[in-house]
Amino acid sequence: MPTENLYSFVDRFPGMRMLCIGDMMLDIFTYGKVDRLSPEAPVPVLKETRVRQMLGGSGNVVANLCSLDCTTLFAGVVGDDAPGADLRGYLRELGADAEMLITQPGYHTSVKTRYVSGSQHLLRVDREERLCLTEEVLSTLLGTIEAKLPDINMVLLSDYGKGLFDERFTPAVIAMSRKAGCPVIVDPKTTDYTIYRGATLVKPNRKEFEGVTGQSFDPTAPGFADAAVAAGREVCRRYGVENLLVTLSEHGMIYIPGDESKKYRWIPTEAKEVFDVSGAGDTSLATLGAAMAAGASMKQAMRIANAASGIVVAKFGTATVTRKELKHKLENKEEISVLNTEQAVALAEELRTQGKTIGFTNGCFDILHPGHLASFERARDLCDVLIVGLNSDASVRRLKGPTRPVNNEQARAAMVSALKPVNYVVIFEEDTALPLIDKLRPDVIAKEGYPLDRWPEGRFVVSYGGQAVELPRLDGFSTTSIVDKINS
């Protein structure tokens, strides 16, 4: 299934009803130009050129959900002040339902003001106080949320540590959401996950994960995945949360299911150029939640969220990703690498540490035709990563005769690697792929037209516990018949 049709889930986003609950704040960006230092003190003088206000904190999750065309509802608390009124207006401008944005008298809405010259942040000034919900506001907020839950597909708790998610509010929201059949994803702030008990998924970043586990983790160190999974499952047991998804910045993200019968997943980052990480976690939360609500599996939802984060970190400021941008990213696969044997072996080892299933197929693939594509698609369905072994020119001549190959190995590798089901191509010199298979040790080998008793490569994979799958042949297509037709 090419690219797992991930963009089909994105097409379903407009039908999803998402409830975001969180700490709302107002972000103010004051832009200007610095061309001198102050004569009063050794500090830059910013000549203001423009000021921009926007939703901050959990509001960035809302902005992303709206940008992805989800039907979005927000629940939270603001003060009876001008910033609170501004936030309410910005929610409405986005098209979000602001009915559950409750005003608490005496509370001052949080405001964060950033001063920026060019692309350089000079200073941030925070004006905030910790929220302490009154019993009246608590009751009103819980009541309005409960009334909306029957029509909600997914609940997102965006905890910025400003006081909303206390020991009274958080457990009540999670309990009523799960009772209504709504999954709950939490972007946490505290290291005490007791208040998150019952959550479907908690999504800490690496620093927050280290805080809750009391351990340090280096994603580049040997054994990282095993250590992280063991620690994560202990967190799930201790606090009664179902799953964890730890974001690792430039190292991607790792999914840790509390159920030990399920496999963990570790996927690399999609970002090619990082310009600003502001709000990337909010984009990830919004997109992951929307994808899961749309029916994506955890692996699929991670890939969609990862792609969205890769887009947004290449933008400046607390940016959002649109559904069009996300579909474009998913539909246009990045160029695939053609690896040598040493690179392929190192890759296989890395993939195994990430818990990924490695698939393998091989052949000459001299003139590509629909039969080849059908085989690649079927092989890709059996694994997480498909590696294609490609006979070298010398190998093809020994097998097919002096007039073959029609296309040289560089051209054949480029064509095969451009196909969506294929992740990596490895050129091998031997007449058989057995030496390469022995080094890679794939989990699955798949090839058309070879029953096991006439397929030594398949028997070898089975001998060490792997799986050999004979693929059905697509009748009417073969390279030899194409060459014969051309010659005639």
What's the rounded Cα separation, in Å, for the pair 386 and 361?
Answer: 8
Beta-bridge partner residues of 124: 114
Element (H, E) at 28: strand 24-37
Q: Is 401 left (phi over 0), alpha (psi -120 to 50) or beta?
A: left
First to last CA, the chain: 36
Task: Based on the residue annotation, tell me whether 282 is a catalytic residue of this protein.
Answer: yes
Report how far Cα 99 is from the mean position of its chain's Cα atoms: 30
Q: Cα dihedral sign for 209, 213, 215, 220?
A: negative
400: nearest Cα among 340, 469, 470, 484: 484
What's the rounded Cα separation, in Å, for the pair 259 and 201?
Answer: 12
What's the rounded Cα separation, in Å, for the pair 260 and 263?
Answer: 7
Q: Cα dihedral sign for 323, 70, 186, 319?
A: positive
How many angstroms separate the Cα of 421 from the Cα of each of 93, 355, 375, 378, 383?
41, 19, 10, 9, 10
Asked if 294 and 302 touch (Cβ cutoff 8 Å), the reply is no
Please pick, among 23, 159, 187, 282, the residue that the annotation labels catalytic.
282
445: nearest Cα among 418, 465, 429, 420: 465
Question: Can you state the angle between helices 169-179 and 135-148, rounded to 10 degrees?
Answer: 20
* Residues carrying an active site annotation: 282
